[in-house]
Amino acid sequence: MKVLLFLFGRLRLAIADQTISAFPTQRSALILARLARASNKRVLRDSLALDLWPEDDLEDARVRFRQELSRLRRVLGEFSHVLIADRTFVGLDSDAVQVDVDDFLQLVRSAELAPNPRERFERHQRALELSAAPFCEGLRDEWVLAQRKQLAEMASLVELPDPVTDTGRLVGREFEVRFICDLLANQTRVGDSFVHVVAPTGFGKSVLLAEVVRRLQPSPPQTIDNPTADAVRAYLGLGSGRPLLCAGVRPLGIPGEKIVRLHPLPVPRGGTQADLAAFPSVRLYLDSAQAAGQPADGMDGIANLVKQLEGWPLPILLAGRRAAVYPAEDLLRRPQGFYGLLADRREVEPERHRSFELAMRWNLDHLPPDAREFFPKFAQLESPFSASIVEETWACPGVEALEVMLDFGFVERTADGFRIPEPILGFVELARLV
């Protein structure tokens, strides 16, 4: 198990349930910080000694450095193995220590290479969580101040987008909007490809398309909602010169299709009340309640509810609309389940968005008949389950249905196999399909 070295906030080391945060002198803490930030985690002894005692000659600085290093080893105790020193170099064992600043920098760099906008958002979010406190808080050495300024500037560039756009309901989709705008703006041969936003109904596809169209004025793309392969081929064959943007529940599987999958909104992993309110899933609930003129109290209950709903936008939106009568905590306490209460009494368009049950029935109706037959059967499997279990139970038709439901977002792939999202299980119970 690696020793964790925290440089954001007060300098400290931790492993399992043990923590060291008190150091005999500021210079002993500085040695640890300097080694952690050094290239390859090691420096020349003499160079570091002169940096720490610039007013001394080399011999005196060596003596002071040796004494400080000895103090540091004593306070580290069983953690002292992370220090490596010889007559020329001193450093940290990079195989034995994990540094939070390194994790922060890796998240910032890797976010630009993230496979999808949601992953990019989550990496930026984790980077900001790591860097929330100042670098080496409490230390005032010039080197510390320079490092603190540099890292704070990097953190300031990691901006989480405002989760609400001026469409009023588009929450937590800023990265997807930008990504799609870039795809459409950089198309070199418009008639050869199209962008297809894919997700179950109730994930905000139509609102997202409207925002993309707004941003790409005065040359917006042509849009098709719930497209068929024939409709797409027909449009591309016209050679109109306008890029095509579609929104549907599953990929069409035709040449030139650039798929952008919408994922559930990120849900809280803990934090203060202000931290919870910053999560898009919580913001969606709060904005929905506010738009309906409803109070939305009990942030912990709201956080637990959006986690139960696994970040699915439509049920969160509908739960917020009913916050006055059914606060989040009350919904979670209902022994008979709460999915049947997720409904909007207004004349919402499209009609399928008026309740969670209507949305899920619409999704179910768009499944191919063979896959629809297996929908309630999969809900009876204990998650996670494997493709081999499906094959052993239902042979090839079951595996084919599994592939279709993966396309529709009714089944999720995990590190251990496959699972049914909680909102799907809630609908199965509500509709008494099992």
Give the other-Cβ count within 10 Å of 124's Cβ: 21
Its sign, for the CA torsion 326, 327, 332, 335, is: negative
d(CA 121, CA 409): 20
Q: What is the pLDDT of residue 394?
A: 84
* CATH code given to domain 367-430: 1.10.10
> Which neighbouring-strand residues pair with 20?
13
| Residue 417 token pair | 């196999």
Residues listed for the chain: 434
Q: What is the pLDDT of residue 100?
A: 93
**For the chain, domain boundaries:** 1-160, 174-261, 273-358, 367-430
pLDDT in tens, the chain (434 residues): 789 999 999 999 987 678 888 898 999 999 999 999 998 899 999 999 999 999 999 999 999 999 999 999 998 888 888 999 999 999 999 999 999 999 998 888 887 666 665 677 778 878 888 888 899 999 989 999 999 988 888 887 675 554 433 334 578 888 888 889 888 887 766 667 899 999 988 898 988 998 899 889 888 898 998 899 999 988 888 777 788 999 998 899 888 899 998 989 888 876 666 677 778 898 899 888 887 777 667 888 999 999 999 999 999 999 998 888 888 998 888 867 788 888 887 766 678 888 889 988 988 888 888 888 888 888 788 888 888 888 888 887 888 888 888 888 888 888 888 888 999 888 888 877 54
Give the other-Cβ count within 10 Å of 59's Cβ: 9
Going by C-beta distance under 8 Å and a sequence separation of 6 or more, which residues neighbour residue 388?
Answer: none
d(CA 352, CA 359): 5
Going by C-beta distance under 8 Å and a sequence separation of 6 or more, which residues neighbour residue 65?
Answer: 45, 48, 49, 52, 53
DSSP H or E segment with residue 424? helix 422-430
| Residue 198 token pair | 């894919």
DSSP 192: G
Phi, psi of 242 (to 5 degrees): -95, 130
DSSP H or E segment with residue 154? helix 142-157
d(CA 308, CA 417): 21
DSSP 249: S
**What are the distances in angstroms from CA 308 to CA 190, 282, 304, 341, 342?**
42, 12, 6, 15, 14
Give the other-Cβ count within 10 Å of 89's Cβ: 16
| Residue 381 token pair | 């499997």
| Residue 45 token pair | 């002894």
Going by C-beta distance under 8 Å and a sequence separation of 6 or more, which residues neighbour residue 59?
Answer: none
- Torsion region of 168: left, alpha or beta (phi above 0 gives left; psi -120 to 50 gives alpha): left
Q: What is the dihedral of CA 293, 295, 300, 304, to 10 degrees?
A: -50
With vertex at residue 172, the alpha carbon angle to CA 171 and CA 175, rounded to the nearest 5 degrees, is 130
In the chain the first and final C-alpha atoms are separated, in Å, by: 45
- Torsion region of 304: left, alpha or beta (phi above 0 gives left; psi -120 to 50 gives alpha): alpha
**What are the distances in angstroms from CA 226 to CA 197, 205, 308, 362?**
10, 10, 28, 12
Q: What is the pLDDT of residue 28?
A: 92
Determine contact, residues 315/356, Cβ cutoff 8 Å: yes
d(CA 283, CA 277): 6
Place of tokens 């800023």: 174
Phi, psi of 214 (to 5 degrees): -60, -45
> Which neighbouring-strand residues pair with 355?
343
DSSP 245: E
Q: Using alpha carbons, select from 11, 14, 18 the residue that is nearest to residue 3.
A: 14
